Amino acid sequence: MTQASELLTLSLYAALVFVAIAQFMAMIRLWIGPGTGDRILALDTMFINAIGLIVLLGILQGTQIYFEAALIIAMLGFVSTVAYARFVLRGDIIE
């Protein structure tokens, strides 16, 4: 059992490191652009990675209390991505 839990701890911290690196890479893409579409995509990726970080934190602490936060971030991510894309497309969000 100790071997299994050691592997779990290792994979958890490795996952946290990988998601942090991924978040940083998305941040670089957000910074350098070059187009508006790339920036929207980078922001969407950062939302997805933020959900990943919260889920990993929930596993690490063995609680369920982060579930609602992850769900709300997922919804806000979708709505904000669509709003940005729509603004680029039509110059307006709700016509």
Residue 62, φ and ψ in degrees, nearest 5: 65, 30
Q: Does 94 bind another protein (CB under 8 A)?
A: no
Q: Out of 65, 76, 91, 94, which residue is the one contacting another protein (CB under 8 A)?
A: 91
Could you give the CA distance from residue 13 to residue 57 in angstroms, rounded to a whole number?
10
Q: Which of residues 42-61 bind another protein (CB under 8 A)?
A: 42, 44-45, 48-49, 51-52, 55-56, 58-59
- Kindly state the helix (H) or strand (E) to which residue 24 belongs, with its residue range: helix 2-32
| Contacts to another protein from residues 14-43, by CB under 8 A | 14-15, 18-19, 21-23, 25-26, 28-29, 35-38, 40-42
User: Residue 49 burial by CB count (10 A; 0-12/13-18/19+): exposed, middle or buried?
Assistant: buried
Q: 4 or 94: whose CB is closer to another protein?
A: 4
